[in-house]
Homo-oligomer: A and B are copies of this chain.
Amino acid sequence: MEKHIELGYLLDYYGALLTQRQRALLEQSLLEDCSLAEIAEREGISRQGVRDALKRGEEQLYAWERSLGLMKRDVALLHSLSELKKLIGALPEGKEKMALDAKADELYNMIEE
């Protein structure tokens, strides 16, 4: 996975553990795709200050993923769930298949959101 995208996901998983300040900086960098210069101007700090803060925040996100592995676990769950959905897809049409499909989608959405 591309680093920027991966960090965006990790921010989704662990953002609640960051300080408000760290989260704001990382959101501007990862979600709004702002440059260091833009963030520095908005925040009234130096580019180097932004760079250091982002680096610390990113390292923290990776550290939490190494400790808790939430993203890795969800990827594995979604993989198994897509296999389950394939098995459901091969069932003969009918109410049972529809009910199973709806329940599998419900699980998928609970993990994805």
* Residues of A near any B CB (own CB < 8 A): 13-14, 16-17, 64, 67-68, 70, 73, 76-77, 80-81, 83-84, 87-88, 90-91, 96, 99-100, 103-104, 106-107, 110-111
Partner of A103, one of B70, B76, B84, B91: B84
The answer to whether residues A106 and B80 also contact, given A68-B17, A70-B70 and a CB cut-off of 8 A, is yes
Q: In whole Å, how far is A107's beta carbon from the nearest beta carbon of chain B?
A: 5
Q: Classify the interface of chain A: helix, strand, loop or mixed.
A: helix
Q: In the complex, which residue of chain B has the Cβ closest to the Cβ of A17? A: B67
A110: chain B residues within 8 A (beta carbon) = 73, 76-77, 80
6 residue pairs A–B, Cβ–Cβ below 8 Å? A13-B68, A77-B110, A77-B111, A80-B110, A83-B103, A84-B100
Cα-based distance from A88 to B84 in the complex (angstroms): 11
